[in-house]
Structures are given as C-alpha cells and as structure tokens.
Structure 1
C-alpha cells in the first residue's frame, strides 16, 4: 500500500512539474524543453523526490514514438520518396563523417583503444530526435526547408542504430568467440519492415473504417494507440528503434481519410509523454559524476557540439542548402542522442568499457541536450539577415493620376479595378522579385522604396491626384503616410489598413480614406453564407448595409474617445434589421472592436 502511495505521489509530482515548468519557461522566452529538464533535475538529483529515471525514460520514450507517428501522418509516401536524397545521402554522410571525426578526436586526445573510441565516436554522432523535433515544433519550423533537412538526417540516424548495435558485440574483447549474427539481424529487420508495410497497406484502413462505423470514440483512440505501440514493439523486436516503427505506421496512414481523427486522438498523449521523457533525462543526470569530472565535461561538451555543428554545416552546404539553412541545421543537431544511453549500456554489458566511463558519457549527452536550446540562440549572431535583392531604379515614363505604393495581393486586385476603369496608374514596389515576375506578364511596375522622398518624387507624386498606399505591414504603411503628409500635404491619401487599431490610427492622421483589407471580404462571405441558407436578396442587402453602418458608428465613437472629443451617441446593438416577416431564428451581438482582431 505504501509503495502504491509513493508511486501516486511521484505521478502527482511529475504532472505538477509539467504544469509549472512549461508556462514558466515559455513566459521568459525559453524553450519548454529546458523547463522540463530543469524540473527533472529539481525533483530528481537536487531534491531526490523521485528515483528510477531508467523506468521513466522507457515510459517517456512512448512520447517520442507518438511524435514520430504524428509526423508520419503528415508525410505521404510520395513526399517521403522525394526526400530520399537528404535521408540516404546527407543523413548517411553526416553519420559516417561525424563519427569518423569524433573517433579520431577520441584517439588523439585520450588513451582509449580504437574499439572504445569507435563506439564512442559513432554513438555521439547521433542526435536527439526528441529534442530536435520538439524544438522545431515549438518554433513552428518543422515544415520549413531546414526543418525538413534536419528531419531527414534524424531519420537516417534512427536507421543507423541497427548497425551500431550490431557493431558492439563485434568490438567486444570476446568478439573472436562471438557467433556472427549480423546477417540474421538484418534479415529480421527487413522482414519486420516488410510486414509492417503490408499491414499498413491492406489492414489498417479497413480496421479504422470498421471502428469508425461504430461511432465509438474511445474505440478509435484505443485502436490508434494499439497500432502505434504495436508497430513500435515490432520494430523493437527486430532490433530497430520503436520510433521508426511508429513513423512507418504513420506514413502508411498519411493518405487515410481517418488521418486527422487519428492525429487528434494521439495528440494529448504525445505532449504529456514527451514532457515525461524530457524530465526523465533531467532525472537521469548524475550530479556526482558531473562534479567529479566537471573539467572533462566542460571541455568535451562544447568540443563535441562544435565538431558536429561544423561537419553538419559543411555537408548541408555540399548538398545544396543555403548558408542560413545550413547554420540552422548545424545548431539544431549538435547534441548527443537518447539512443546513446542504449548503446553505451550495451557496450558495458559486452565489457568494452567500464560503467564509470558509460556514466560519464551519458552525463555528456545529457548536458549537450540541455545546451541545445542555447545553441539555437546563437543563430542570431551567425546569420545576418540577407539584404533584399535590388535592381536599378528606373522611373522613365512614371507619373500619372494615381500613384500606387505596394503591389501585394491587395494592390494587385485594386489596380485591376483602376485600370479597367481607364485610370492611369503608376505602381511602385520594393520587391525586386515581384517586379520581375510582373514583367513576365507584360505589366510594368517600378522598383522603388515608397519610404524615400526621392523615390516618390521620381515616381511622379507631385502630379498625382491620389496616392494609394497598399503596403502590407503596418510599420511600413505608417512611415509612408507620415512622409507624404509631411512633405506632400496636398496629396489625397487612400490607405490600406492593417486592422481595426490601425484604422483608428490612420483616422487620427486624417487620411482621406482607409479600409481594412478583410472587412469587405468578410461582409461578402457572410452575405453569401446567408444566401445559401435561403435568406432573400433584399434582406441580405439591408443586413450588409446595416452591419457596415453600425461598424462605422463604432469606429466614430472610438476615434472621438481617442481624441478626447465629446462622446457621440451610442450605436444600436449589432443585430439583423427588423423585418418581422423575415426574421432569422438567431442574431449575434458583437462586442465593440472585435469584428477584426487581426488581418
């Protein structure tokens, strides 16, 4: 009974740590991974409130398994095939070259035997799938180019675990008496992958179709967990990583009609179990070993991370990545991986090196994991924002009734109306690429920055009857408006507004006309929706006009309040016009100022 109470207390501590650590570190701008690590260290090595980090690591690894399954759901087989060059080319080169360099360093800087140095070098070449993918998830960069490159490398590293584990007994002191089992292990691994692919192709979709027809939500969740964990167990039995099995199962279901439901079923478990995994890493940190070998760790961790980052950067550049992407990949993958725990434990079991060395290496991996969010912060110092491409400014032939500044999606649509109406329009834009693309369609716009007085004069602002400011960002728009009102006060200003607050700001500047990009499109969307519900045309026109009028009244009140003028009369609540014979069943009241929180 006491043991059960103790386990229950540990669960409460873990859940409480998750609830406190994540928001606390997020609020100060740090990654939640660091928060989980810190929480694990606090309740483990420091306060010794929880022990048995090995069991927690095994349990938390299910979170990594679920994460790979969710990623697999987003990668169709065709898309995965398109990544084969990065996976088997860049990924293989990273493991082999990084492993060779780290092995050479271990032989040069220590007195280790070549067998020991080889195991250490190639194991430390692996990175942490859990850490890297979680950091990509938090930053929203998983689907960016460098995120895809990083994932390709991690995927091959998971595949490399099999030969590394097979290498351990071959390098043990009794290797001459060991039975060769590498070929058998390879056959078993390939057979397991084939079995999983066949099951995914022919069994999984019918299974989920049957369960979905029952309407039992809990059965769908149970089936999803069964498939993920079953695939993981099969791969583990074959000597592959559990994460690899879950990933393959996800890919097999990527084109399934139940993909989104499966993802929503898995998501809550994934987040909590990943948090447990990261806390277990913190719990596994042996402070005694770190204190005894602090100088070794202080030297080894930065050196290993630097070597991995440099080799990864060089290979990414060799395989066609940009400088920016290569730097980001290098700074994301310099840490040791969680599979190092497994390989080093296997090396101890095969008498390749003692437990004390394994504990030191595990401490090095753990510290490198903790340092990874910090290395990512170095990107701002190593990556200079690339200057926008420029082309020569040439305003020959510029000057007309309307000067339009900015040719993004809003300006493109507005210009079509002006040109169709016979207006003469001069358009300037600060994107060299956009200028070139438009020229391919036989359309002339001028390259120039509307925030510069000389550019505006060259574009003919003194002859323009109206200046239409159609730039996208609020800051750029405000600078252009302020410049024009200061230097060219005679100009009539028509301005695209970013959001409601920007509208109030522009009205305070007394621009002649402004409009929020999404306002009229939102009115039209609502009108068409009501029309599809059977509302008659006359009523629709009245509703739209009434909403537009009331919105204008609310804006007028907000402008008056902001300027300190006497408050205008309060507009009526925002409801449908009252035509008793054609009333809607329900009407909506919108709080003032909430019709468009953002663009």
Structure 2
C-alpha cells in the first residue's frame, strides 16, 4: 500500500506528459513520437520526477509487441504478392546496402565491435514510417508512384525488425551456465515456430468462432490479448524475441474473418503502450553522455542522412524511377526510425553495447527525425521540371467491366452503389484514393485504384462495356473534366453525374448529361419533411409538400435553363403558405404563368425529371 501513491503519481505524470506533448509536437509538424520522447526526457533526466525508466521500459515493450502483431495482420499474402518487386526487391536492397555501409563505417572508425556495428548499422538503416507517411498524406502523395515505392520500402523495413530482433539473443554474450549448443537453440526455435503455425492453422479460428457465439465482447478482447501474449511468450521461451512471436501470430490471422475484430480489440492497448514505450526511452536517456559527445552526434546525423539518401537515390534510379521520384524518396526516408529505438534499447539490455551508447544512438535518430521536414523541402530544389509528372500507382483492373462504371467512391457514391447492388446490378468502381480503395474492398465492393480523368484508366475499367457511367467525384472541376473526356471519346455513353450545386446542375444540363442530382438536394427534402412531421403535420400532407417543392425546384431549373439563373425566384417559399383564392395572374415580361403552369403540369409527382420537359412546355 505504501507504493500505491507513488505508482499513481508516476502514472499521472506519464499520462499528463503524453496529453500535453503529443498534440504540441503534432501541431509543430514533428510527430507524436518525438512528443512522447520529449515528455519522457523532461519527466526523467531533466526533472528527475521518475528515475525507474528501465523498469517502465520492460512493461512498455508490450506496445512494440502489439504493434508487430498489427503489422502482421495487415500483411495479406495477396497484397504482398502484388507489391513484391518493390517490397522484396527495392526494400531488401535498401536495408541490406545501407546496413552494410553503416556497419563498415562504424567498424572502420573502431566505434563499436563487430556485433554492435551490425546491430547499429542495420538499426540506423530503418526509416520512420510515422514521419514519412505523415508527409505523404499531408502532400496528398500517398497514391503517387513514388509514394507507393516509398511505402514499399517502409513496409520491408517494418518486416526487417523481426530478424534484427532475433539476432540480439544470438549476439548477446553467452553465459557460462549455457547448456545448449547453437544447433540445439536453432532446433528449438524452429519447433516453436512450427507449433505456432499449427496452432494458428487449426486452433485459432475455431477458438474465435466459439467465443464470437457467446456475444461477450470482453471475452473476445481477452482472447485477442491471450493470442498475442501467448504467441510472444512461446517464441521468447524458444530463445527468440517476443516481437517476432506476435508478428507471426498476426501473419497467421491475416486471412482470418476475425482479423478486423482482433485489430480493433488490440489497437487501444497498442496505442497507449507504444506511447509509454517512447516515453520510457526518454526516461532512460543519459543526457550526460549525450552532452559529452555532442560533436560526435552533430557529425553522425548528416553522415547518416547523406548515406541513406545516396543509397536510396541510386537504388531507385537503378530500378526504373525517374529523377524526380528518386529525389523525393531519397529525401523522404533519410532519417532513423522508431524501430531503431526498439532495437537499440533491446541491444543495450542484452549487453551488446552500453546504455550510454544506446543514448547516443537515440539522440542521433531523434535529431534526424526532427530534420525530416527540412529534407523533404530540399527535394523540391533538386527536382527537374521536365520530370515533374505524377506517375500513379500501377492499376490492376482484372475482372473489371459491369453494367455501371462508377467514378469516385464518396459517401454519395457509397449509398448509390448499395441501391444498384441490391437491385442485382454489377458495379465497377474506381477511385484515386488508395486508403478508400483498401477500406471499401474490405466490405466486398469491386473497387479499383485509378484516376478517372485518364482515358487509359477508363478503358481498363471497362467503360466500353458499361451501360451507364456514373460520375460521383466530389470536386466540381474533376467532374467536369471526366464528363468532357467521356463525351469526347464515347459520345453515346449515358452519363449520370453528382452535381455540386444549382449552378453546376445547369452547367451539366447544358453539356447534355442525361441525369444529374445535387449532392444535398434529396437529403434536404427528406430532412424538412421529417421536421414537419415532428411538428405535427400529417404524413401524407408532409409528403405532398415535399413533392410540391421538388416539382417547383425542377420547374425553376427548366426556366433557368432558358432564361438565366434569376428566373423563377417567385416560385420559392420564403414564408408560410396561406391558402388564397385562385386568381389568374397577369402576363409577365420574361415568361407567362401559362408556360409555368404547363411545365409544372408535365412534371411527374414522384420528382423524376423528364429530359424533354422544356421541349414539351414550348
């Protein structure tokens, strides 16, 4: 009981530091990881409020265990196979080349022994996924060709942490009490991995199926944690790292129907424990060692970034990237990464090098991460104008071709697609957002990555087979560009479009689009009707009012097509309607009430717009 207040106080300080530092550093563009690290440094080495940094680190390492489990869950074999060349070719070449060069530099200058040099060199070869993806998303470059190649390199680096962590027990100093030979250790490790694969193949899915039938969510969460911790412990007992066990468990469940449920259950624990891990790294940092070796750090950071940038540029150019793309990738990934913290901390705990060396390496990685936005800005100065072409992700339209080709998969399009699918119609969807494509694919939609403003993409997506082309993009200018392209190349195509507003609707009608709908019109009508009903108006009366407004709006559009946007203003209801005697209106200068009445009489009550309404009225 005496230690309870101390535990509570330390927990409050850590939580408070995370809550204050993470948003601040995020706002400064430095990322939450540096925020957690800075909070740990302030609480520990500077304020001396918490001195048990290494003890907290042992608990916080579970955050990395959970992180690798989630990485394993994302590694579906089909996805890996599609990106295999960039992941296993370019990514592997980058890690191996950079790791060897940095290891040789450390050995040549006699900074570390050969074990420490290898761990340090390959640890510094890893880049920061969090920083790089943040920059790509902020610049809307995640879907470009260079963005996808950079992502492939980062993915391989995330995978590389598994064998690197497995090297640490092998490199650690052997104790005199060791009774097993390296061959026996290897056999034990293989047996443990085999047992894990067998359990994952034949036990995990039936286990989750039984638990899911109970409907007890807390049991499902407990089972998810049990799987992660059980696999990690099993592999650790075999002499390998807990992180490797969790990663293998994630890979085994990547194709499971419970994958998303497991990810959702583990994610909160992963997030808070990972934050605690980086704060614990800051708590354990030896500022005295960093201050005494500041010149070494100032030299090491530019050398590290230069070596990684040159290797990345050379490999990207050798594997087919244009100059601009190679420059972007080289200056996007020159920093050390968050997994470097994991590797260096584990190596120091295993005795491969001292805690002081680990502090120096953490400082080098931290400074390189802080300089990442500057490096990304430098890329613009080194790019050539003639190569400034955004080459998109390789599109794969195998199986495309349906009754409806839907371009853009916004919220508007998602609702429309459900109607079409419920009606038994096939829909091919293309969208330029890789994140949206991945998300929609998980719900079973036939969706492909592609830019709808490109003719080759439309052809590959099966526009020639489509009976209707539905343009559901969010931006007005993009919609107009697609419609102009389709009308120029496929003049007989039936075009349905989502319009931005009333002016856009009139423009689309002027272009001859068969059907258009303002994105908020029908939802606004329904909202108003439901509000009337809530105020006591009868259901049939409210529906009649809604239909009348819909018909009046269509009549206004017909008049505005002929006479301009200001026509038909008197048809708007700007105050409550009061029943009045019918009086025949006088003839207007611009249009007659008789014409308006004929237009209204020819509009169907259900709100469908006949294409020949204006012609019939005339």
Q: In the alignment, is the contact (CA less than 8 A) between 1:38 and 1:279 conserved in 2?
A: yes
Q: Distance in 1 between matches of 2:64 and 2:347?
A: 18
- Residue by residue over 1:340-379, the C-alpha shift from the partner in whole angstroms, topping out at 9 and shown as x without a partner, is 222244345xxxx666545434443444455556655655
Q: Distance in 2 between matches of 1:496 and 1:107?
A: 64
- Secondary structure at the residue paired with 1:126? helix
Match of 1:419 in 2: none
Distance of aligned partners of 1:442 and 1:80 in 2 relative to their CA distance in 1, 3 Å threshold: closer
Q: Distance in 1 between matches of 2:15 and 2:184?
A: 43
Q: Distance in 2 between matches of 1:252 and 1:363?
A: 36
Tell me how far 1:307 sits from its aligned partner: 1.4
Match of 2:133 in 1: 136
Q: In the alignment, is the contact (CA less than 8 A) between 1:14 and 1:276 conserved in 2?
A: yes
Distance of aligned partners of 1:330 and 1:374 in 2 relative to their CA distance in 1, 3 Å threshold: closer
Does residue 1:154 correspond to 2:158, yes or no?
yes
For residues 439-450 of structure 1, what are the structure 2 equivalents within 5 Å? Answer: none
Q: Distance in 1 between matches of 2:556 and 2:292?
A: 69
- Residue by residue over 1:225-245, the C-alpha shift from the partner in whole angstroms, topping out at 9 and shown as x without a partner, is 111111122233334333322
Match of 1:43 in 2: 43
- Secondary structure at the residue paired with 1:224? helix
Q: Distance in 2 between matches of 1:58 and 1:130?
A: 24
Q: Distance in 2 between matches of 1:292 and 1:207?
A: 55
Tell me how far 1:206 sits from its aligned partner: 1.1
Match of 1:119 in 2: 116
Q: Distance in 1 between matches of 2:163 and 2:518?
A: 49
Tell me how far 1:299 sits from its aligned partner: 0.7
Match of 2:236 in 1: 236
- Compute the TM-score of the two structures, normalised by the length of structure 2: 0.61
Pairing partner for 1:342 from 343, 346, 358: 346
Q: Distance in 1 between matches of 2:336 and 2:91?
A: 16
Q: Distance in 1 between matches of 2:184 and 2:84?
A: 26
Q: In the alignment, is the contact (CA less than 8 A) between 1:31 and 1:138 conserved in 2?
A: no
Distance of aligned partners of 1:211 and 1:303 in 2 relative to their CA distance in 1, 3 Å threshold: same
Tell me how far 1:178 sits from its aligned partner: 9.5
Distance of aligned partners of 1:193 and 1:309 in 2 relative to their CA distance in 1, 3 Å threshold: farther
Distance of aligned partners of 1:520 and 1:225 in 2 relative to their CA distance in 1, 3 Å threshold: same
Distance of aligned partners of 1:188 and 1:381 in 2 relative to their CA distance in 1, 3 Å threshold: farther
Q: In the alignment, is the contact (CA less than 8 A) between 1:37 and 1:370 conserved in 2?
A: no
Distance of aligned partners of 1:509 and 1:24 in 2 relative to their CA distance in 1, 3 Å threshold: farther
Q: In the alignment, is the contact (CA less than 8 A) between 2:336 and 2:369 conserved in 1?
A: yes
Distance of aligned partners of 1:273 and 1:224 in 2 relative to their CA distance in 1, 3 Å threshold: same
Match of 2:290 in 1: 290
Q: Distance in 2 between matches of 1:283 and 1:550?
A: 69
Q: In the alignment, is the contact (CA less than 8 A) between 1:94 and 1:312 conserved in 2?
A: yes
Unaligned runs of 5+ in 2: 392-404, 414-451, 483-494, 528-539, 558-564, 578-618
Q: In the alignment, is the contact (CA less than 8 A) between 1:289 and 1:363 conserved in 2?
A: no
Match of 2:449 in 1: none
Q: Distance in 1 between matches of 2:526 and 2:164?
A: 53
Pairing partner for 1:387 from 381, 386, 389: 389
- Compute the TM-score of the two structures, normalised by the length of structure 1: 0.63
Q: Distance in 1 between matches of 2:263 and 2:472?
A: 40
Instruction: Report the RMSD for the aligned CA atoms in angstroms.
Output: 5.2
Unaligned runs of 5+ in 1: 390-406, 414-428, 444-468, 481-493, 527-537, 573-599
- Residue by residue over 1:308-357, the C-alpha shift from the partner in whole angstroms, topping out at 9 and shown as x without a partner, is 33324433444556663784376336315121222244345xxxx66654
Q: In the alignment, is the contact (CA less than 8 A) between 2:498 and 2:517 conserved in 1?
A: yes
For residues 29-40 of structure 1, what are the structure 2 equivalents within 5 Å? Answer: 29-40=29-40
Tell me how far 1:267 sits from its aligned partner: 1.9
For residues 195-594 of structure 1, what are the structure 2 equivalents within 5 Å? Answer: 195-319=195-319, 324=325, 327-328=328-329, 331-332=332-333, 334-335=335-336, 337=340, 338-348=342-352, 356-372=356-372, 375=375, 386-387=388-389, 409=407, 431=454, 433=456, 473-474=475-476, 499=500, 503=501, 516=517, 518=519, 545=547, 548=550, 569-570=574-575
Distance of aligned partners of 1:135 and 1:21 in 2 relative to their CA distance in 1, 3 Å threshold: farther
Q: In the alignment, is the contact (CA less than 8 A) between 2:211 and 2:220 conserved in 1?
A: yes
- Residue by residue over 1:395-451, the C-alpha shift from the partner in whole angstroms, topping out at 9 and shown as x without a partner, is xxxxxxxxxxxx9949xx9xxxxxxxxxxxxxxx974645886999599xxxxxxxx
Q: Distance in 2 between matches of 1:511 and 1:145?
A: 42
Distance of aligned partners of 1:157 and 1:55 in 2 relative to their CA distance in 1, 3 Å threshold: same
Q: Distance in 1 between matches of 2:553 and 2:272?
A: 44
Tell me how far 1:248 sits from its aligned partner: 1.8
Tell me how far 1:205 sits from its aligned partner: 0.8
For residues 167-186 of structure 1, what are the structure 2 equivalents within 5 Å? Answer: 167-169=171-173, 181-186=181-186
Tell me how far 1:52 sits from its aligned partner: 2.2
Tell me how far 1:264 sits from its aligned partner: 1.7
Q: Distance in 1 between matches of 2:178 and 2:543?
A: 85
- Secondary structure at the residue paired with 1:50? coil
Q: Please, which moves more after superposition, 432-441 or 29-38?
A: 432-441
Q: Distance in 2 between matches of 1:250 and 1:213?
A: 22
Distance of aligned partners of 1:264 and 1:510 in 2 relative to their CA distance in 1, 3 Å threshold: closer
Tell me how far 1:203 sits from its aligned partner: 0.7
- Residue by residue over 1:44-71, the C-alpha shift from the partner in whole angstroms, topping out at 9 and shown as x without a partner, is 2332222322233332222222222223
Q: In the alignment, is the contact (CA less than 8 A) between 2:164 and 2:343 conserved in 1?
A: no
Q: Distance in 1 between matches of 2:357 and 2:233?
A: 30
Distance of aligned partners of 1:219 and 1:156 in 2 relative to their CA distance in 1, 3 Å threshold: same
